[in-house]
Structure 1
């Protein structure tokens, strides 16, 4: 008869084998899609033409590679069961957006690759829980702007890549919390200038790349950047000479206040000073077109009773036609009565 200790040991061994087999069902050696390295808690699902993330990725996975698939969107809870992840690669997919909270459970993540996608925007706070993140690659997307404070929680970030996007401006203070940043890539965007003080907190920066932006060296908004680049060049910071003026062929760090004498209007300006208290006729005209007739009054006038929708064009025509028909009938009836009275009066 089997002893209780031996039975318990056998049960543990069988349970472990069953769990391992269940976890490896995802892996290529068992006919699954991905390749697994159990010793390193790594799952490689690259180049598998995936349109969705496999649901049975082991919960203890630390490294997950999903690059060069056909992912167009992510479920908000796609990674919520993978709390041990330290490395996530989503490079080379077709992602156009990121859902709110998609990375909220990845508090151990140190590397996140999102480059070579089609991201057009980034939601506020999507990186806020990634407090251990060290590398973030967002290059080669279609970003036109960044939310204010988008990197504020990433205080351990050392590498940030934003190149090959369509950034037209940067929010004030966007890099203020990145005091550990060592490399920053901003080349191949549409930046004419950076906000005053944009780079002041980047004391540990060793490399910056700024080439192929339309840096406007005719406006005095470029002076902060010119002085900062000149100072950092003297300190030996790499890449500072990659920022060239859009016109004139000069390097931005060589621009003086005399070169950039114009007081140009910043594209970030949202408040205009009114020049007159008189309301332009065009504004009045536009306001007239914005006047909305209360829906219930419109419906009562047309005799249309459905409360949740305005009548369609055919319904409007039918209601108006019925109204006109009724009026015509009343007029004909009144004419007939008057004619009869007139005839009786003569008789």
Structure 2
């Protein structure tokens, strides 16, 4: 009766080994797409055509490069467990949004690259846990506004790039807590110098001129004048900018509440907009082409696995018949 027992043990060992390999396929040495350096704790996943974060990035990773890929979204758990990370490069992707809290576990992070993406807005508090951050790259996106206090917790920040976005203003006090800031890129934004909101930025630039580099390059929309030269007389309008949140106007809510069902007309609502209104979101991410591609050695290993399983099953059946 030892034959079936040995065959069963062999089956369990093979299954465990194969599952371990499948779950650990981040680094090339394990059949994954990234280059990993165990000595420097660097993981390089640059230029792999990735549309999702590779699974099982080593938890002791210090430097993670995900630039030049096709990431359009991130699950909020994308970097959980990577609390030793000091460098994260997400530049040159297709990120359109960032989920709240996606960076909250990166408490040792010093450099964060988010430039050359498609970001139109930032969630409130998105950087609050990154208290050791010294370098933040947000240039070359489509940012239309910044949340109140978005940089307030970044007391160690030395470099901030915001150039080449669609910013017309910054919130009052946006840079007041950045006491160690040495460089701030503000150029190539359509700063609205006709509104009173620009006066905070104008006064701040004037005050920090000579201590923070590049800030003088910020120009009013159209390039007619430098932001730091704007006076109160020129910025006389009380402008109201639409926020970036989705809300139902109170007048509509009041009308619906006071109307009978029979009085409410049926309006065609596109399915996509209806899903967005309800807060529907696609799953965090689906398997991507690079993740689904397995190396030739991986295929051979898989085939061998099934061959050995079949042999083990036949072995068990053979001994059971004899018994």
TM-score tier by shorter-chain length is: 0.5 to 0.7
After the TM superposition, which parts of structure 1 deviate over 3 Å for at least 4 consecutive aligned residues? Answer: 25-28, 30-38, 269-275, 283-287
* Structure 2 alignment gaps of length 5 or more: 1-20, 268-323
Rg (Cα) greater in structure: 1
SS at match of 1:136: strand
| CA deviation vs aligned residue, 1:162-190 (integer Å, no higher than 9, x gap) | 00000000000000000000000000000
From 133, 143, 166, the equivalent of 1:167 is: 143
Q: Deviation of residue 102 (structure 1)?
A: 1.3
What residue is the counterpart of 1:131 in the other structure? 107
* Structure 1 alignment gaps of length 5 or more: 1-21, 42-61, 292-347
CA contact (8 A) 1:165 1:188 kept: yes
What residue is the counterpart of 2:238 in the other structure? 263
Q: Deviation of residue 71 (structure 1)?
A: 0.4
What residue is the counterpart of 2:271 in the other structure? none
CA distance in 2, matches of 1:286, 1:184: 55
From 197, 214, 226, the equivalent of 1:251 is: 226
CA distance in 2, matches of 1:226, 1:114: 31
| CA deviation vs aligned residue, 1:8-45 (integer Å, no higher than 9, x gap) | xxxxxxxxxxxxxx99x9657x999665655x24xxxx
What residue is the counterpart of 1:143 in the other structure? 119
Question: Over aligned residues, Cα RMSD in angstroms?
Answer: 3.4
What residue is the counterpart of 2:12 in the other structure? none
SS at match of 1:184: strand
What residue is the counterpart of 1:154 in the other structure? 130
| TM-score relative to the length of structure 1 | 0.62
From 65, 82, 87, the equivalent of 2:58 is: 82
Q: What count of residue pairs does the alignment treat as equivalent?
A: 240
Q: Deviation of residue 273 (structure 1)?
A: 10
Q: Deviation of residue 268 (structure 1)?
A: 2.7
CA contact (8 A) 2:51 2:71 kept: yes
| CA deviation vs aligned residue, 1:83-141 (integer Å, no higher than 9, x gap) | 10110000000000001211010000000000000000000100000000000000000
| TM-score relative to the length of structure 2 | 0.67
Q: Deviation of residue 247 (structure 1)?
A: 3.8
Q: Deviation of residue 266 (structure 1)?
A: 2.4
